[in-house]
Amino acid sequence: MSQKREFEEGKARSSPEDKRRRFKSVVQEVMRLQTVKHFLEPVLEPLIRKVVKEEVELALGKHLSGIKWICEKEIHPLETRNLELKFLNNLSLPVFTSARIEGDEGQAIRVGLVDPATGQIVSSGPASSAKLEVFVVEGDFDNWTAEDIRNNIVRERQGKKPLLSGNVFAVLDNGIGAMDEISFTDNSSWTRSRKFRLAVRMVDQVEFVKVREAVTESFVVRDHRGELYRKHHPPSLFDEVWRLEKIGKDGAFHKRLNCSSINTVKDFLTYFHVNSSKLRQILGTGMSSKMWEITLDHARSCVLDNSVHVYQPQKKTAVVFNVIAQVLGLLVDFQYVPAEKLSEIEKAQAEAMVIAALSHPNEVISYDDKSSMMRNFLNVPPSQTSAGIDYSGMSLTSMDGYGFVGTLHNAAESSGKYSDDVDMEVTPQGLYEDFSLWNCSQILGLEETQSDLQSALDGFMSQKNVVIGKAHSRRRWTKLFSVSKWLSVFKSVTVRKNI
């Protein structure tokens, strides 16, 4: 009790003084704050405002970005991109068990990752290097979904090997993959549709990318024993004619062709170039126009050799044709005219000559290629081209492969001029009986005369693109005859001098 009274007494005594001190300290504190506010506020306020503004803008930017991403996600869920796999080449048909599945022209089956919106190969991004798997589906459905494909996958028969052997996986490289070295182990005759389809799907899952599977057209898989009846692509000239598309072995078309002695692909093509309408008639109305085009295109894909054949029913004209009797050109007055430059009348003439050549095979001269024909038949140097024969570089001594018929000399001696009755043809018998006497430099000893004679001969022989015509031939041969007559005069003068 005594302590309580002492405390209350002390409190009563110090209360007025304490109040004054507290009031003084409060006033001083307010004055200091006012001083700080007066001096520091102009400096601190802009700084604080700037910092706060930057922080607020940064926070708002992050917040707005999040809102935008959420909105886009709601409009385009997961940003899904729709792509599709597509076979880039067709299968080579027919397909046999145990035989490698190939594409066109024996190439590997190629699959591409395609953007359906543009039709272009997707060559970048994670999906362009994804792993693929090839599998087999039924052949009796056209419009498919992923579920349809899963429900129609064909598995091997019980107790059999997997339906596909080899490497059934591939990896895309810049959006393109190759399915190589795969084959069927079983035929398709036991399935519901009796046909198969190949399908390819993407094994790797790529985020936000949806890829549709690729499916081929339906096809039949035959047992490898049926490969004996397989069509060849391309066919060989010496393949039997039933190797061509739409002509079955021992079928109606095959029998009709055999009855007309058309046994091989070469026979078929030869008959086509000689008489296509007759060939069409042999096959009959059972072969539609579309079937005919398919068969003909298959036959034309045959690889031909380079050999050429020459038939010369007349001394001034010969026809050049290939191994299947296709006209390549005409030889007229030692000028080769290719088939594309012939007129319709000349083409008809050339075709008639080819038909005659087939009836007289012993009179046909064969060469390894066109260049060999030009060198040997026309005595053209290897440096000359097949487009035209340039005689400007030939000398008199190179002319021993050509000559006049005797009637030209006889007519010249009797009339002294060209006659319409003179035989204008050329024979490879030698230009003159004793050609060594016609070396002007030896006979005359005049270099200038030799040069003049050579110029005259070059002028005659360098005429190209000859037009077949009596008047034109007369002018050319008159010129050459004048040269030979001139030589004859100089020869006589020289002999007299020596006597």
Backbone dihedral region of 246: left (phi > 0), alpha (psi from -120 to 50 degrees) or beta?
A: left
Confidence of residue 80 (pLDDT cuts 50, 70, 90): confident
Contact yes or no for 217/103 (Cβ under 8 A)? no
pLDDT at 325: 93
- Higher pLDDT among residues 485 and 401, named by residue: 485
One-letter amino acid of 74? E
Q: Read off the pLDDT of each residue in 46-68 and give the average, rounded to a whole number.
A: 75
Q: At 407, list the tokens.
A: 């009637």
Confidence of residue 283 (pLDDT cuts 50, 70, 90): very high
Superfamily of domain 81-224: Immunoglobulins (2.60.40.10)
Give the integer Cα–Cα distance in Å for 28 and 34.
10
Q: How far is CA 125 from CA 122, 130, 156, 324, in A?
A: 8, 10, 36, 53
Q: At 480, list the tokens.
A: 């050459």
Q: What one-character-per-residue DSSP string does 18-60 give?
A: HHHHHHHHHHHHHHHHHHHHHHHHHHHHHHHHHHHHHHHHHHH
One-letter amino acid of 216? T
pLDDT at 326: 93
Confidence of residue 29 (pLDDT cuts 50, 70, 90): confident
Q: At 458, list the tokens.
A: 């070059």
pLDDT at 133: 94
* Closest to 97 (Cα-Cα) out of 161, 42, 53, 33: 161
One-letter amino acid of 272? F
Domain ranges of the chain: 19-75, 81-224, 231-300, 308-376, 396-498
Q: What one-character-per-residue DSSP string does 97-153 give?
A: TTSBP-BGGGPPEEEEEEETTTTEE--SSGGGG-EEEEEEEESS--S--HHHHHHTB
Rounding to the nearest 10 degrees, give the CA dihedral for residues 470, 471, 473, 474. 110
How do residues 326-358 score in pLDDT, each as one tens digit? 999 999 887 889 999 999 999 999 999 999 999
Q: Read off the pLDDT of each residue in 275-279 and give the average, rounded to a whole number.
A: 92
Residue 328 makes CB contacts below 8 A (sequence gap 6+) with 308, 320, 321, 322, 338, 339, 370
Contact yes or no for 383/361 (Cβ under 8 A)? no
Q: Which contacts (CB < 8 Å, 24+ apart) does range 11-15 have? A: none
As a whole number of Å, the end-to-end CA separation of the chain is: 189
pLDDT at 27: 72
Confidence of residue 202 (pLDDT cuts 50, 70, 90): very high
Q: At 277, list the tokens.
A: 């309408």
Give the integer Cα–Cα distance in Å for 112 and 116.
12
Give the integer Cα–Cα distance in Å for 318 and 326.
14
